C-alpha cells in the first residue's frame, strides 16, 4: 500500500519469467544442444509459472480478510483477461481445426475450463481455480491445513507428470491417472498445480519481512541444482510423461521468491508487460512463421532456434512494453485508495515496535493482551489485530460481543476477552465464536451458567474501582461463581483505578488494590479452587503501579504509542511510537479580504488580506468542534495553520496566509508528523479539553484507514 516499499525485485522478475516462458515455446538452444535445451526449457524456465502463482498468492491469499473482495477482484480480472485472450485466439483455433471433427463441444468445454483454449492459456483458468482453492483453505483452515491439502495435490500432480512411469507401476495410481487423463491431457492444471504456490505466496507475506538475501540465494542455488538433477535423472530413465512439475520446484519457488523480496525500490511502470507478453507471444510466433513462409526470406530466421527466440522476444516486447506503460498511466492517475478526502494512516511498524517494548517491560514469561475495543481506539480493529497477531500477540480484549464477533470474522484466532457486560441471551454467540466473557457480577454468572452452553469466562474482581466485578471481600459470592456449572474459568482479573498518577497516594491505592486482589485469590485457593491466569495491569499499571507482576498486561494506549495527556511522567520509561496519523487533502484555497468572514456565525473576521484553506474533515469524522477558533491547528508543508471559525460537521477552515504555495490537493496533517513538525494526539486532546483515549476512539466513521510502514508513509510517497 501507499507507504510500503515497492517490491522491485518481484516486478523485475515478472519480466524475466515472461522471457523464460517465451523460451519454453521457442526453444532457443534447440539448434545447438539437446541437453542445454532441456535444461533451459524443461528445468530452469519451469520456475516461471510457479513464480507467477506465488506472486498472485502474495498479494491475494490471506488468513485475515475483511471480506472476499481481494479474491473476487482477482477472479474477475483473470476471467476478463482470459475472455479477451480467448477471443484473440479464435482465428488460430479455427485454423487449427478446433471447431471441426468429433466431440467439438466436449473438446471446447475441456479447453475452456481446464486446458485453456490455446496451449499457453491453461494458466488463466488454472490461476482462477488454484487461487480460489488456496484462498478458501487458508481463510477457513489456516496455513498448515492449506499447505497439507495443496501439497498433497501437488504431489499427485508431479506423479502424473515428470514421475509418471513410477505411478504406472502402482495400480491405484495407474487407475487414478487413467481417470484423470480422460478429462485432461496432463496434471498441470488448476486442481494439482497452482494451489500450493498461491498458499506459499500468502504465507510469505503473512510471515512478514526478514528474508536474508545471502541465505535465500544459497537455497535457490542448491534447490535449482537439485531440480536439475531430478529432471536429468528422470529424463535418462524416461519416466516423464511431461517435464513441467518436479518435487524440487516448490523449494526453488520458496527461495527464489524470498530472494526477490529482499529487493525494494521504485515501482516498475512496465511490470504489466509480463502478462501481456505471456498472452501474445504465441501469436507473434505464428505471425513470424507465416511471414517466413510467405517471404522465404525469414526461413533461416525461424529455423535457427536462437534467432527465432530473439525475433519473437523483440516483437513481443516491442508491443507489450509500450502497452503496459500506457495502461499503467491510465490506472495510476489516482493516489492510494482512501486518500481522496481525509484519512487515517496506521503505521504497522509502530504497532509491532510498541508491542515489543511493552513485552520487554513486562519481563520474561508474561504476555500482552492487546486491547482493541472501540475499533482499536480508532486505529481500525481489523488492521490492528491482524498485524499484532502476525507479530505474535495471542490474546485480545474488546468491549462487546459484537466487537469480538467482528474480530473472529476477520480471521483472528487468538483468545478474545470481552471486558464488558454481555447479556446471557448471547451465550450461544459466545460459544460459537469462542469468545471469553467477563463475569461482571454473581448474578451475571448465574444467568450465564443457566444457558446450558459451556462458556469460557474470566472473573472480574472489584478491588476499589467500583465499576464492574464482584467485591474482593465477598468470598461467598466468588465461591458461587467458581462452583457454577457450565462456566470454564480461565482467568481472574481486576482493574486499577489510580494507576495514571505517580503521586504517593496513587501508588498506595494501587498497592492496596493489588493486596485486595491477592487476598481474594488466596481465599479462593484456600477454598480449594484452582485460580488460573491472573491479570491486573493496563498500560499505566505496567508503567506506574507497584502491583504483583503476573499474568498478561491488558495494553491499549501503550500499543497505540500514546498516553492520556501530554507530557505525563511515568515511573518506568517506555519508548513508544504513535501509530496513527490523521490527514486531509486541501479542497481549495481562497483569498479573504479584511473585514470578510469565514464560515457559520461570522466567527472569524479577517484582519488582513488572508488565504484560507478548506479541509474536507469535520466533527462528524471525530475532529472535535471544541478546536474551533484557533484552539486547534494543522500542519501544511511542515508549518502550522490555525483553525479559523468553527469546525463544521464535514469541513473546517485553516489560515494559510503565512504558508507559501498552499494548493488544492496538498496534504494537511491533523495528527502526526509533517516535515520537522508534529502534532501529538495528546496535545490535540488537551486543546480540545479531553483525553487522548476519547479523541482517538471517536475518530472514524468516514475516515478510511491506510496502512503504512514508518510514520511519514503515505504523505511522502505522493503529493
Ligand atoms: C480499556 C481497558 C484496558 C486498557 O487500558 P489502557 O489504559 O488503554 O492500556 C485494560 N483493562 C480494562 C478492563 C479496560 O477496560
| Ramachandran region, residue 429 (left: φ > 0; alpha: ψ -120 to 50; beta: rest) | alpha
Asked which of 209-223, 454-468, 472-486 is least confident by mean pLDDT, the reply is 209-223
In contact, 46 and 244? CB cutoff 8 Å? yes
Q: Which of 370, 371, 372, 557 to mutate to test the pocket of ligand 1 (most atoms within 8 A of CB)?
A: 371
CATH of domain 580-716: 2.40.37.10
Q: Is 373 one of the annotated active-site residues of the chain?
A: yes
Task: Report CA(469)–ligand 1 centroid distance (Å).
Answer: 14
Residues contacting 277, CB < 8 A, separation 6+: 15, 18, 19, 21, 22, 316, 317, 320
* Residue 504 CA, ligand 1 centroid: distance in Å: 22
Lowest mean pLDDT among 143-157, 195-209, 661-675: 195-209
**How many A from CA of 371 to the centre of ligand 1?**
7
- Angstrom distances, CA of residue 198 to CA of 127, 132, 254: 9, 9, 11
pLDDT of residue 718: 35
Average the pLDDT over 300-328 and give the result: 92
- Pocket around ligand 1: residues whose beta carbon is below 6 Å from it? 371, 373, 419, 495, 538-540, 554-558
**pLDDT tier at 93, thresholds 50, 70, 90:** confident
Q: Which ligand 1 atom lies nearest to the CA of residue 560?
A: 8
Residue 713 has pLDDT above 50, yes or no: no
Rounded to whole angstroms, the maximal C-alpha distance in the chain is: 102
Centre of ligand 1 to C-alpha 554, Å, is 6
| Residue 711: band (very low, low, confident or very high) from pLDDT cuts 50, 70, 90 | low
Tell me the pLDDT tens digit for each residue of 380-409: 999 999 999 999 999 999 999 999 999 999
Atom 8 (ligand 1) nearest CA: 556
| pLDDT tens-digit series, residues 573-606 | 999 999 999 999 999 999 999 999 988 877 899 9
- CA triple 640-690-368, angle to 5 deg: 100
* CB 154 within 8 Å of CB 80: no
Q: Is the pLDDT of residue 540 over 90?
A: yes
Atom number, ligand 1, closest to the C-alpha of residue 460 = 13
pLDDT at 2 over 50: no
Domain 342-560 has CATH 3.40.50.720: no
pLDDT over 90 for what percent of the chain?
78
CB 585 within 8 A of CB 339: yes
Whether residue 210 is predicted with pLDDT greater than 60 in this model: the reply is yes
Confidence band for 25, pLDDT divided at 50, 70 and 90: very high
Report domain extents, the chain. Answer: 1-30+269-333, 42-268, 342-560, 580-716
Q: Reply yes or no on whether the pLDDT at 65 is more than 50.
A: yes
The confidence score (pLDDT) of residue 335 equals 67
pLDDT of residue 232: 96
Same CATH fold assignment for domains 342-560 and 580-716:
no
484 three-class SS? coil
Percent of the chain with pLDDT over 70: 97
pLDDT of res. 112: 79
Ligand 1: residue whose CA is nearest its atom 15: 419
Amino acid at each position: 500500500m501507499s507507504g510500503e516499499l515497492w517490491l522491485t525485485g518481484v516486478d523485475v522478475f515478472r519480466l524475466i519469467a515472461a522471457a523464460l516462458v517465451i523460451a519454453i515455446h521457442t526453444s532457443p538452444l534447440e539448434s545447438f544442444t539437446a541437453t542445454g535445451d532441456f535444461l533451459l526449457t524443461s528445468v530452469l524456465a519451469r520456475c516461471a509459472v510457479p513464480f507467477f502463482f506465488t506472486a498472485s498468492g502474495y498479494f491475494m491469499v490471506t488468513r485475515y480478510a475483511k471480506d472476499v473482495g481481494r479474491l473476487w477482484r482477482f477472479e474477475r480480472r483473470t476471467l476478463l483477461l482470459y475472455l479477451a485472450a480467448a477471443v484473440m485466439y479464435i482465428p488460430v483455433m479455427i485454423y487449427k481445426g478446433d471447431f471441426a471433427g468429433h466431440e467439438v463441444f466436449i473438446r471446447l468445454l475441456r479447453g475452456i475450463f481446464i486446458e485453456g483454449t490455446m496451449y499457453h492459456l491453461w494458466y488463466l483458468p488454472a490461476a482462477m481455480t488454484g487461487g480460489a482453492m488456496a484462498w478458501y483453505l487458508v481463510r477457513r483452515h489456516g496455513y498448515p491445513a492449506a499447505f497439507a491439502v495443496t501439497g498433497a495435490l501437488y504431489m499427485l500432480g508431479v506423479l502424473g507428470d515428470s514421475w509418471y512411469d513410477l505411478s504406472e507401476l502402482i495400480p491405484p495410481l495407474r487407475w487414478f491417472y487413467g481417470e484423470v487423463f480422460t478429462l485432461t491431457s496432463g496434471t498441470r492444471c488448476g486442481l494439482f498445480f497452482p494451489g500450493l504456490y498461491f498458499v506459499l505466496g500468502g504465507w510469505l507475506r503473512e510471515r512478514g519481512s526478514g528474508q536474508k538475501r545471502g541465505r535465500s540465494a544459497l537455497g535457490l542455488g542448491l534447490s535449482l541444482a537439485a531440480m536439475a538433477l531430478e529432471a536429468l535423472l528422470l529424463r535418462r530413465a524416461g519416466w516423464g510423461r511431461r517435464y513441467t512439475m518436479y518435487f524440487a520446484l516448490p523449494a526453488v519457488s520458496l527461495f527464489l521468491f524470498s530472494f526477490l523480496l529482499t529487493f525494494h525500490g521504485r515501482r516498475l511502470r512496465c511490470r504489466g508487460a509480463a502478462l501481456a507478453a505471456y498472452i501474445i507471444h504465441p501469436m507473434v510466433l505464428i505471425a513470424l512463421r507465416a511471414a517466413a513462409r510467405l517471404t522465404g526470406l525469414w526461413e533461416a530466421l525461424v529455423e535457427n532456434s536462437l534467432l527465432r527466440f530473439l525475433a519473437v522476444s523483440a516483437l513481443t516486447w516491442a508491443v507489450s512494453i509500450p502497452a503496459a506503460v500506457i495502461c499503467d498511466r491510465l490506472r495510476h492517475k489516482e493516489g492510494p485508495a482512501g486518500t481522496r478526502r481525509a484519512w487515517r494512516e496506521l503505521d504497522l511498524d509502530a504497532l509491532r515496535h510498541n508491542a515489543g517494548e511493552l513485552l520487554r517491560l513486562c519481563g520474561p514469561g508474561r504476555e500482552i493482551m492487546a486491547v482493541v475495543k472501540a475499533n482499536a481506539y480508532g486505529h481500525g480493529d481489523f488492521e490492528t489485530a491482524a498485524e499484532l497477531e502476525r507479530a505474535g500477540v495471542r490474546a485480545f480484549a474488546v468491549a462487546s460481543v459484537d466487537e469480538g464477533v467482528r474480530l473472529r470474522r476477520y480471521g483472528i484466532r487468538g483468545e478474545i476477552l470481552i471486558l464488558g457486560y454481555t447479556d446471557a441471551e448471547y451465550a450461544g454467540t459466545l460459544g460459537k465464536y469462542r469468545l471469553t466473557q467477563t463475569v461482571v457480577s454473581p448474578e451475571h454468572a448465574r444467568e450465564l451458567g443457566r444457558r446450558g452452553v459451556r462458556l469460557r469466562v474470566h472473573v472480574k474482581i472489584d478491588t476499589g474501582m467500583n465499576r464492574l466485578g464482584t467485591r474482593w471481600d465477598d468470598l461467598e459470592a466468588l465461591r458461587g461463581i467458581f462452583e457454577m456449572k457450565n462456566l470454564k474459568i480461565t482467568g481472574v482479573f481486576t482493574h486499577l483505578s489510580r494507576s495514571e498518577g505517580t503521586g504517593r497516594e496513587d501508588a498506595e491505592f494501587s498497592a492496596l488494590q493489588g493486596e485486595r486482589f491477592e487476598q481474594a485469590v488466596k481465599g479462593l485457593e484456600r477454598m480449594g479452587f484452582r485460580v488460573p491466569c491472573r491479570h491486573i495491569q493496563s498500560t499505566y499499571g505496567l508503567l506506574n503501579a507497584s502491583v504483583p507482576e503476573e499474568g498478561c498486561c491488558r495494553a491499549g494506549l501503550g500499543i497505540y504509542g500514546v498516553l492520556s495527556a501530554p507530557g505525563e511522567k511515568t515511573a518506568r520509561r517506555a519508548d513508544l511510537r504513535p501509530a496513527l496519523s490523521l490527514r486531509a487533502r486541501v479542497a481549495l484555497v481562497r483569498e479573504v479580504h479584511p473585514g470578510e468572514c469565514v464560515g457559520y456565525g461570522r466567527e472569524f473576521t479577517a484582519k488582513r488580506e488572508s488565504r484560507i484553506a478548506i479541509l474536507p474533515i469535520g466533527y462528524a469524522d471525530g475532529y472535535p468542534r471544541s478546536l474551533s477558533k484557533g484552539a486547534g491547528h494543522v500542519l501544511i508543508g511542515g508549518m502550522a495553520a490555525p483553525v479559523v471559525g468553527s469546525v463544521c460537521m464535514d469541513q473546517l477552515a485553516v489560515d494559510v496566509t503565512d504558508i507559501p504555495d498552499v494548493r488544492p490537493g496538498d496534504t494537511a496533517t491533523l495528527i502526526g508528523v509533517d516535515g520537522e513538525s508534529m502534532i501529538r494526539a495528546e496535545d490535540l486532546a488537551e486543546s480540545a479539553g479531553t483525553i487522548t483515549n476519547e479523541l482517538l476512539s471517536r475518530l472514524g466513521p468516514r475516515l478510511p484507514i491506510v496502512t503504512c510502514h514508518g510514520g511519514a508513509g503515505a504523505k511522502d510517497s505522493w503529493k
